[in-house]
């Protein structure tokens, strides 16, 4: 499709501007979760700007660049703090595309791209099992897969692999809010993980366009997605390029905004970079539904969970070890303030649970997904999913 060339060209212009604007004042470091956790200037936003711009403008990749660029969660907190609004994540993302073309991207992220292209699901090249999980969870929630509907719910790949209970809860919450939602085994993944985290913009947009076509076939006027920051970024890219046609993409929390709040006493709301920045207009809805206070670093300055931007998939050394230190540091800081952490983001849900394990702070603490809480409120089910 060639969208990547346009994206890289835009990033080169941004890189030139960033090199002119960046004063190395260090304000961005306060919002960078990897820098805060590792306290190493090699993993600061300004170091990533320099490396990404060098790769974009001169094609000059050096030893250490992979560690710099693939420990960036692309969460946007540094941009919120920068006096000039330098979009570090855009530069990092485009530089990763070029590294991928040169065979320098970690294999674990290349697998995400290949899976998306081959099977329509970022986590596996064989979509048969995710399709079975989708159909089973949908029917348990009273939704017939492939039936016409006003809205097509496209789950994150986490929901059809690790957390089918979250998928069932999301569909239950939609029904409770009066949304006539459907699902389709031909729309398993919106594509954000492949497009953003794995720097495969063309592969991710291919999944998104397939979901739009399936929505139109089923008569759905909108696509509803789970709270994933990567999907939110991809949807914004697609809308700017006129790829959505007459179909609107919206967050599940926008769709269930009228649902009763969860009312979780003693809980902490972790809003994620998605609702803290990229979908900031939806943060008041998320906050009302959770009825829990945010961390001290309130939106738009909320630090990432530590596993965004593809970090949660990394298996290669030393990247996986660096990631583990970051997520343990972040989860420990959240756990200091509450025993139960609620998050609207399926990736944050996964990463914070893993971070508590790495920080050895699992006992007596819980991480809950907001859609599950809302679903329990709607059905009166107090049990865990």
Q: Is 363 helix (H, G, I), strand (E, B) or coil?
A: coil
Query: What b/e string do you get for 226-258 counting C-beta neighbours within 10 Å, with b at 16 or more?
Result: bbbbbbbbbbebbeeeebbeebbbebbbbbbee
pTM of the model: 0.95
Neighbours of 284 (CB within 10 A): 12
Query: ∠ CA 331-308-280 to the nearest 5 degrees?
Result: 95
DSSP for residue 259:
S
DSSP for 39-76? --GGGSHHHHHHHHHHHHHH----TTHHHHHHT----S
Q: Report domain extents, the chain.
A: 3-101, 107-255, 267-379
pLDDT profile of the chain (385 residues), mean per 10: 88 98 96 97 98 98 97 97 97 98 98 97 96 98 97 97 97 95 98 97 96 97 92 93 93 94 85 90 94 92 95 97 98 95 96 97 93 82 47
Compute φ and ψ for 306, nearest 5 degrees.
Answer: 105, -10
The angle at the Cα of 207, spanning 201 to 211, to the nearest 5 degrees, equals 140
User: Does 1.10.1060.10 match the CATH number of domain 3-101?
Assistant: yes
Distance CA 304, CA 29 (A): 13
Residue 364 exposed, middle or buried by CB count within 10 Å (0-12, 13-18, 19+): exposed
What is the pLDDT at residue 380?
A: 66
Residue among 257, 209, 249 nearest 231 (CA): 249
Measured distance CA(214)–CA(64) in Å, rounded: 43
pLDDT computed for residue 165 by the predictor: 96
């Amino acid at each position: 499709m060639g969208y990547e060339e346009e994206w890289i060209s835009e990033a080169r212009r941004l890189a030139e501007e960033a090199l002119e604007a960046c004063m190395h004042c260090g304000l961005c470091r306060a919002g960078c979760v990897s820098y805060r956790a590792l306290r190493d200037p090699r993993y600061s936003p300004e170091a990533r700007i320099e490396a990404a711009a060098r790769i974009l403008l001169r094609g000059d990749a050096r030893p250490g660049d992979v560690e710099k660029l693939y420990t960036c969660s692309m969460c946007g907190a540094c941009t919120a703090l920068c006096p000039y609004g330098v979009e570090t994540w855009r530069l990092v993302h485009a530089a990763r595309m070029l590294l991928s073309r040169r065979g320098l991207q970690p294999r674990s992220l290349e697998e995400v791209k290949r899976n998306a292209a081959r099977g329509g699901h970022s986590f596996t090249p064989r979509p048969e099992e995710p399709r079975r999980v989708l159909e089973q969870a949908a029917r348990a929630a009273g939704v017939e897969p492939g039936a016409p509907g006003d809205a097509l719910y496209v789950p994150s790949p986490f929901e059809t692999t690790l957390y089918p209970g979250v998928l069932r809860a999301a569909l239950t919450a939609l029904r409770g809010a009066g949304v006539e939602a459907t699902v389709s085994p031909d729309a398993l993944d919106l594509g954000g993980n492949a497009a953003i985290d794995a720097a495969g913009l063309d592969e991710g947009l291919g999944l998104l366009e397939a979901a739009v076509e399936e929505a139109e076939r089923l008569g759905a006027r909108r696509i509803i997605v789970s709270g994933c920051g990567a999907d939110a970024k991809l949807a914004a890219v697609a809308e700017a390029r006129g790829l959505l046609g007459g179909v609107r993409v919206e967050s599940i929390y926008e769709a269930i905004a009228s649902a009763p709040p969860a009312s979780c006493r003693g809980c902490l709301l972790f809003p994620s970079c998605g609702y803290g920045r990229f979908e900031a207009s939806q943060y008041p809805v998320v906050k009302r539904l959770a009825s829990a206070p945010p961390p001290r670093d309130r939106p738009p300055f909320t630090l990432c969970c530590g596993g965004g931007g593809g970090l949660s998939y990394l298996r290669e050394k030393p990247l996986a070890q660096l990631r583990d230190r970051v997520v343990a540091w972040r989860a420990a800081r959240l756990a200091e303030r509450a025993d139960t952490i609620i998050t609207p983001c399926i990736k944050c849900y996964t990463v914070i649970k893993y971070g508590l394990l790495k920080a050895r702070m699992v006992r007596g603490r819980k991480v809950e997904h907001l859609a599950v809480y809302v679903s329990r409120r709607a059905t009166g089910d107090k049990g865990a999913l």
